Structure 1
Amino acid sequence: MMIRQTLRLMAGSALCTALAACTLGPEFVRPEASLPAQWEGRVITSAAFADDAAWWNGFEDPLLAALASQAMQANLDVQLAATRVAQSRALRGISAADRAPAVGATVGATRARNSEVGLNDPSGHAGREDYGLFQAGIGLSWEVDLWGRVRRQVEIADARVQIANEDWHAVQTAVMAETARDYLQLRATRELLTITEDNLHIARDVQRLTLARQQQGVATTLQVASAAAQVAALEARVAPLQHRQSQLRNALALLLGRSPQALDAQLDSARRDWPALPGMATGLPSDLVERRPDIRRAEAALHAATAGIGVAKANFLPRITLTGDAGFQAKQLDDLDGWNAHRFSIGPAISLPIFQGGRLKANLALSRLQERQAGLQFQKTVLQAWHDVDDAIDGYSAEQQRGQALQVAVEESERALAAARRQYQAGVIDMLDVLTTQRIALDNQAALAGSRAAAAIARVDLYRALGGGWHDEGADAALTDSVSAASGVGNIAQRTLRSSQ
């Protein structure tokens, strides 16, 4: 009799398992990105696209490459994002555990006495004596995923892992771009400081020459005052540039997780020339869907929202849970191992929502609205990416053209300044003409230095707009390194906190 009942239960369980192949809710379909077939009218566009994750190597600057490598390992924002990825994977493991039966073992020993005037005493002593109860057993519980509720929850967890992963990639891209920008701005600031100091030396030479000519009765008081004013104006430019240089060095140190001024010695070895930047290819607009972390994140968020509809629908239907419990129970410890002390129970439990006050309908409506919102957010993200690339290409092209024009302006102004000095020494022109020519030359030199840096920074912005060149090869190893680095920083912080208490 017991065998027949057990077989019926097993057959019912098998039927429930077969029915569990049903999954409610819409299946996720990857959305189409509304992008043009190619970038229109862009002179730097090329047919081939170099998918180089280490895009900073294109600047041919070993120090920049070293800083980028250090930032990848030491930046605290990257480490924080990596720990969030690890957390999302752990949460995914929690959700996936619901697909398997939960098995637990219990062992207990109690000493009790029931009331003589209360309910029936299961010990048989009518509450007149104490009794002991010893038991040991194994319990099992498993929700039959009849409507795919658990599968949809795991699907949501998978999408959230992808979201955290794309956030990590986005932080990497932002940190690399910021490192490159600060470094390039530091180089430009140092170049501008050198130009200012060189012109300051020239202005002081002109001032000494003017004073000598005044003693000879050739130069006027106006010329002497103008030369002194030029020297003072150039001296006033030095301190702000030195301060800006210090700020950028500290900004790089922060990006690399270092203390202020920790990188000063290393940054002093930065190259001083600006090599011609090679042409770069933008690839096709459709590449953005695969390359930009924000687009991939928006797609994963839409996936999670779509799966959420299936969970909301499954909540309307019965939930079946198979439970089982087997073990031994005895009032004496010596009797616990006997066959007559064994016990078991097995059977399904069915729960069905009957009245929830509209909660389930509202939850389903909310899930559908969240999917709608995620779809709109995906469209907005794609459109924003399109604008980012278009603006970055325009900015890079414009800065290249500006730099070419400024190069001509610097060459001509330097030629004019040299001629003005010769004519002044010959007495053909006065000092004001020399100072005016020198001021124009200085402005052109400073503008050219700024344009070279701006062109390099515009290239960084273009790389970032195109997705930063990131791909998933070696992602797990990099994630492990980042999490390990974050753990090391956390241990140091804990030791510091304990030592301060």
Structure 2
Amino acid sequence: DAAAARLMLAGAVVQSYVEVARAERRAAIAARTIKAREGSLSLVQVRERSQLASRIDVTAAGTLLAQARLALVQAQAARVLATNALAALAGRGSDYAAAIQPTRLRADAALPLPAAIPADLLARRADIAAAEARVTAAQAGRQVARRAFYPNINLTALVGLQAIGFGNFVDLDSGTAGGGAAIHLPLFDGGRLRADLAGATAAVDVATASYNEAVVGAARDVADHRFV
């Protein structure tokens, strides 16, 4: 579970850093678009004064410029949110966001992903390994509950049977084995034992369902990141 938490934290840090880079790229594109549309608006205004363009053309050019300016504001706001999230994940203060250096994402630098991901690679994920460990622990608990139905044989008591007496040879009580009893038979404790076994079996089912959910989630994560 601790490894799974570290994996989730690392993934969140990477995702936030990528969001910062994306926001910076969107802001740069918006800034270039604003410059180009300002030039277009100026040109249309000159054409209007020369009666080569209508007022509708000027309004349309102004609308496009306003849209580009809005895109820049949105990109800048997205960068602030992403840097604040990154600072929080890093355990830093709000001033840490200003220290984050801009970066550039290169789509051509990404390594090609295989068409299929081997199952053993997914099994190495910390969340899946933790879920598998919980299944193993639950199965071990069920084995313990099942072994409680077996007779408990005290070999030391068997060796000293003649000194102890036949009355202590067998213990049929539902509690702990009597002192010095050679054999403990859980005959009158079947209800509690069956309830314990049913609970242990249910724990195995829950752990197995959680494991299956973790595997499906991991496969979904891999599939989603292939097309990001």
Report the TM-score when normalising by structure 1: 0.35
Q: Verify: 1:228 aligned to 2:62, yes or no.
A: yes
2:35 maps to which of 193, 201, 220: 201
Identity of aligned residues (%): 26
Query: Whose helix fraction is larger, Structure 1's or Structure 2's?
Result: 2
- Structure 1 residue 306 and structure 2 residue 139: aligned? yes
**Counterpart among 254, 271, 282 of residue 104 in structure 2:** 271
- Aligned residue identity for 2:6: Q
The aligned residue for residue 245 of structure 1 is 79
Pair 1:177–1:282, CA change in 2 (3 A): farther
Distance in 2 (CA, whole Å) between partners of 1:273 and 1:380 is 34
Give 1:173 deviation, angstroms. 2.0
User: What residue number does 2:121 align with?
Assistant: 288
Question: What amino acid maps onto 1:173 in structure 2?
Answer: L
AA of the residue aligned to 1:308: G
Deviations for 1:92-150, whole angstroms, at most 9, x for unmatched residues?
xxxxxxxxxxxxxxxxxxxxxxxxxxxxxxxxxxxxxxxxxxxxxxxxxxxxxxxxxxx
Q: Does 1:185 align with 2:19?
A: yes
Q: Residues 319 and 350 of structure 1 are in contact (CA less than 8 Å); yes or no, is this contact kept in structure 2?
A: no
Deviation string, structure 1 residues 287-321 (Cα, Å, up to 9, x no partner): 2364122332232222212221343245455597x
Larger radius of gyration: 1
Shift of 1:388: 4.6
Query: 1 or 2, which has the higher strand percentage?
Result: 1
- What whole-Å deviation, never above 9, does each CA across 1:413-444 have from its counterpart, x for those lacking one? xxxxxxxxxxxxxxxxxxxxxxxxxxxxxxxx
- Aligned pairs for 1:430-441 within 5 A: none
Determine the structure 2 residue equivalent to 1:499: none
Tell me: CA distance 1:252–1:308, structure 2 relative to 1, closer, same or farther (3 Å): same
AA paired with 1:302? V
Check whether the contact 2:25–2:104 (CA below 8 A) recurs between aligned residues: no
Is this contact kept in 2: 1:250–1:261, CA < 8 A? no
Cα deviations by residue, 1:215-273 (Å, 9 ceiling, x for unpaired): 344433223222222222222222222111100110111111112242322234x2365
> 1:344-355 maps to which residues of 2 (within 5 A)?
349-350=179-180, 355=188
Query: Residues 56-455 of structure 1: matches in 2 within 5 Å?
Result: 167-268=1-102, 270-271=103-104, 274-281=107-114, 285-288=118-121, 290-316=123-149, 317-318=151-152, 349-350=179-180, 355-356=188-189, 358-379=191-212, 381-386=214-219, 388-389=221-222, 391-392=223-224, 396=226, 399=227
Gaps of 5+ in 1: 1-166, 323-347, 400-457, 459-501
Q: Distance in 1 between the 2:30 and 2:129 partners?
A: 47
Q: TM-score, normalising length from structure 2?
A: 0.70
Whether the 8 Å contact between 1:301 and 1:374 is mirrored in structure 2 is: yes
The one-character-per-residue Cα deviations of 1:27-62 (angstroms, maximum 9, x if unpaired) are xxxxxxxxxxxxxxxxxxxxxxxxxxxxxxxxxxxx
| SS of residue matched to 2:100 | helix
Which whole-Å CA distance do the structure 2 matches of 1:227 and 1:380 have between them?
A: 52
Give the count of matched residue pairs.
202
Letter in 2 for 1:277: A
Task: Name the structure, 1 or 2, with higher relative contact order (CA <8 Å, separation 6+).
Answer: 1
Task: Report the Cα distance in structure 1 between the residues aligned to 2:220 and 2:64, rounded to whole angstroms.
Answer: 45
Q: 1:199/1:368 Cα in 2 relative to 1: closer, same or farther (>3 Å)?
A: closer
Q: CA RMSD in A?
A: 3.3
Partner AA of 2:11 in structure 1: A
Q: CA deviation at 1:203?
A: 1.5
Q: Distance in 2 between matches of 1:375 and 1:309?
A: 13
Contact kept, 8 Å, 1:200 with 1:231, in 2: the verdict is yes
CA distance in 2, matches of 1:362, 1:227: 76
SS of the aligned residue for 1:199 comes to: helix
Residue equivalent to 2:163: none
Range 170-179 or range 309-318, more displaced: 309-318
